[in-house]
Structure 1
Amino acid sequence: MAQALNGKIITVFGGSGFIGRHTIRILAERGYSIRAAVRRPDLAEHLQPLGAVGQIMPVAASVRNKKSVEKAVEGACAVINLVGILYEAGAQKFDTVQAKGPATIADVCKEQGIETLVHLSAIGADENSKSVYAQTKAAGEKAVLDAMPNAVIFRPSIVFGPEDDFFNRFGSMAQLFPMLPLIGGGHTKFQPVYVEDVALAIANAAERQVEGGKVYELGGPEVASFKQCLSLMLETIRRKRALVSLPFLIARIQAKFLQMFPKPMLTVDQVNLLKRDNVVSKEALSEKRTFEGLGIEPHSMEAILPTYLDKFRPHGQYEAQKPLKS
């Protein structure tokens, strides 16, 4: 239940997305008024029921337009940037959205005297990576800290939850196809993290409960290979599917074709990303720049996946009520 409004405004760029809607719900429950800064406010109306009448207001803003950013953050006590893309389309380019966009937001926050900025990056951000996605994530982090040295930056591993683009995608594929691809043999390691845990960390940082000027790496309690993740997904939805190894070279060739579609299932840049493990670094662990240091106990995949993947079972969600066959 939401608290009485506290009179403070928090602006959330990219608030209509997967992580954004969970973050906004938590902030609304804590009594904040929220501006969900999005390119198309008509596509963010689903956020309004997460709070009281008038508490959550979608506003038109683009990280490519400084004036719209200035208007969106005016009077805010904190700003959160969750904007990111998995592939390029039209004017949405990695450099524009993930490097220059964060720089614009940070510069505007500095100009307007807003002291609290929370920026969402990703594990794997690296200026020397072969992936443009990872390069621009690193550039965005640098731009933010250059302008706002006390900003908080979060790098999550693969984020899972009801609207995720990982387990839901492969669950849907398992309904249609007798086999699933293991890019690079399925050896890439992930540390999947529950969206609610990430949203909680972001909300706490917006309330200045997190030490600024640091890059925190967020991973779940389990490290699992790509193959282990798909095996767990198949076990959860009670389907048997062949897991077929797809060498990086073949995956790259297929990605060149697939990335020509408006919403590609795979791009060359994503193949490059999969060549490196996506887990919390030893440095972050030793320095407690993790959930442990934030005082948050992350949820496991086993606890959460059955709560939303049951729709992919042979008989849908009702299969959850049936006993497993021995």
Structure 2
Amino acid sequence: MAMPKNAPAAGPNLVTIYGGSGFVGRYVARRMARAGWRVRVACRNPNEALFVKVYGNVGQVEPVFCNVRDDASVAAVMEGADAVVNCVGILEEAGRNTFRAVQEEGAERIARLAVERGIGRMVQISAIGADPGSKSAYARTKAAGEAAVLRHLPDAVILRPSIVFGPEDEFFNRFASMARFGPVLPVVGAGTLFQPVYVDDVAHAAEKALTGAAMPGIYELGGPDVATFRELMEQMLDVIGRRRLIGNIPFPLASAMGWGAGAASRLSFGLVPQPVTVDQVRNLRRDNVVAGRAMTFADLGIEPMSMEAILPGYLWRFRKGGEYAEITESAKDLREDI
């Protein structure tokens, strides 16, 4: 497979990152700024994304408004760019932000308009489990988005991470927060396998693709640890120093709960929270690990970080005593020795 022909020209290149203020996007933005690129962070709320400005020198990183459902909006923030990254994705639908509109049509729109403007380098952030035949609309539209990008840009790089973790994640942070209340930590699909990947390792892969150090094609990105949902929760509980019973909710019951919560949320116009959706339950029925049919971190020369090295650095706030938990415990042991 040949390397991409559209290598960046000499000088300060410009990359437009759609969803660049989101969890993965902000790490891609920071890496590209450190690599000397100008970075345009395209997002729905630029005023809430001002934190990205500190990733580079004055004027190097700029948040701008964009709606991926609109051609004119997507095209406007693409002008003058040498490369584009699509980090936009949703875990549940809300109003006009449907899976199809955001993850399929949005990805197609970015790729199509990039070709029209002579931009040949694109990175699409997808997900392990993307499958056109899946019962999950999330997984089907992720696959459709990939196919649309490759139709327009055959030399694009598709990154499929497993569940992504890091300081701003909505996975370990969510369950660590839940673990502060009650003796039971409920999960759906306790036996489902995951291969969690550190967010900056995903961003590193995107940087390699944007700077021409990666072959075009599909990469499945998983960390060094493969564990069941239950085992991940046990590791998280160990990090935060809490003992909880992990209760597995059977899939049929979880689906019924998702349907009921969805109906309540719709009837209340979103005022009633929806802890799990039917589509998320469908996703949790399948293992979320590198399948071995695609390229991986090894093909990029990246050694991914382990959960053990990262989780304590940001989950400490969920411990009893917070950041002083270990000091308090040491002091207690010292008093017992006296």
User: What TM-score results when the alignment is normalised by the length of structure 2?
Assistant: 0.91
Greater shift after overlay, 42-51 or 13-22?
42-51
Establish whether residue 299 from structure 1 lines up as the match of residue 299 from structure 2: no
Q: Which residue of structure 1 aligns with residue 221 of structure 2?
A: 218
Deviation at 1:265, TM superposition (A): 2.0
2:209 alignment partner, one of 205, 216, 226: 205
Q: How many pairs were matched up?
A: 316
Cα separation, 1, equivalents of 2:80 and 2:244: 53
RMSD of aligned C-alpha atoms?
A: 1.5
1:269 alignment partner, one of 259, 276, 279: 279
Q: Secondary structure at the match of 2:32?
A: helix
Deviation at 1:176, TM superposition (A): 1.6
Structure with bigger gyration radius: 2
2:163 alignment partner, one of 151, 158, 161: 158
Cα separation, 1, equivalents of 2:327 and 2:197: 27
* Counterpart code for 2:108: A
Cα separation, 1, equivalents of 2:323 and 2:200: 22
Q: Secondary structure at the match of 2:85?
A: strand
* Counterpart code for 2:318: F
Q: Which residue of structure 2 aligns with residue 282 of structure 1?
A: 292
CA-to-aligned-CA distance 1:173-192 (integer Å, 9 cap, x gap): 001222111313x0000000
CA-to-aligned-CA distance 1:211-230 (integer Å, 9 cap, x gap): 11x11000000110000000
Q: Which residue of structure 2 aligns with residue 97 of structure 1?
A: 102
* Counterpart code for 1:198: V
Q: Which residue of structure 2 aligns with residue 258 of structure 1?
A: 261
Q: Which residue of structure 1 aligns with residue 38 of structure 2?
A: 33
Deviation at 1:40, TM superposition (A): 1.8
Cα separation, 2, equivalents of 1:162 and 1:77: 30
Establish whether residue 123 from structure 1 lines up as the match of residue 128 from structure 2: yes
Q: Which residue of structure 2 aligns with residue 78 of structure 1?
A: 83
* Counterpart code for 1:255: G
Establish whether residue 110 from structure 1 lines up as the match of residue 120 from structure 2: no
Cα separation, 1, equivalents of 2:52 and 2:157: 24
Q: Which residue of structure 1 aligns with residue 247 of structure 2?
A: 244
Greater shift after overlay, 269-278 or 66-75?
66-75
Q: Is the 8 A contact 1:310 1:320 kept in 2?
A: no
Q: Which residue of structure 1 aligns with residue 62 of structure 2?
A: 57
Deviation at 1:321, TM superposition (A): 3.4
2:51 alignment partner, one of 24, 41, 46: 46
Q: Is the 8 A contact 2:321 2:328 kept in 1?
A: no
* Counterpart code for 1:200: H
Question: Structure 1 residues 203, 251: CA separation in 2 closer, same or farther (over 3 Å shift)?
Answer: same
1:136 alignment partner, one of 125, 138, 141: 141
Which runs of 5 or more structure 1 residues have no equivalent in the other structure? none
CA-to-aligned-CA distance 1:22-48 (integer Å, 9 cap, x gap): 111111111111110112211211211
Q: Which residue of structure 2 aligns with residue 189 of structure 1?
A: 193
Q: Which residue of structure 2 aligns with residue 69 of structure 1?
A: 74
Q: Is the 8 A contact 1:6 1:31 kept in 2?
A: no
Greater shift after overlay, 142-151 or 47-56?
47-56
Q: Is the 8 A contact 1:118 1:206 kept in 2?
A: yes
User: What TM-score results when the alignment is normalised by the length of structure 1?
Assistant: 0.94
CA-to-aligned-CA distance 1:55-93 (integer Å, 9 cap, x gap): 111111111111111111111111000000000011110
Q: Percent identity of the aligned residues?
A: 50
Deviation at 1:50, TM superposition (A): 1.5
* Counterpart code for 1:148: L
Cα separation, 2, equivalents of 1:215 and 1:321: 46
Greater shift after overlay, 166-175 or 55-64?
55-64
* Counterpart code for 1:120: I
Question: Structure 1 residues 320, 55: CA separation in 2 closer, same or farther (over 3 Å shift)?
Answer: farther
Q: Is the 8 A contact 1:35 1:59 kept in 2?
A: yes
Q: Is the 8 A contact 1:123 1:155 kept in 2?
A: yes
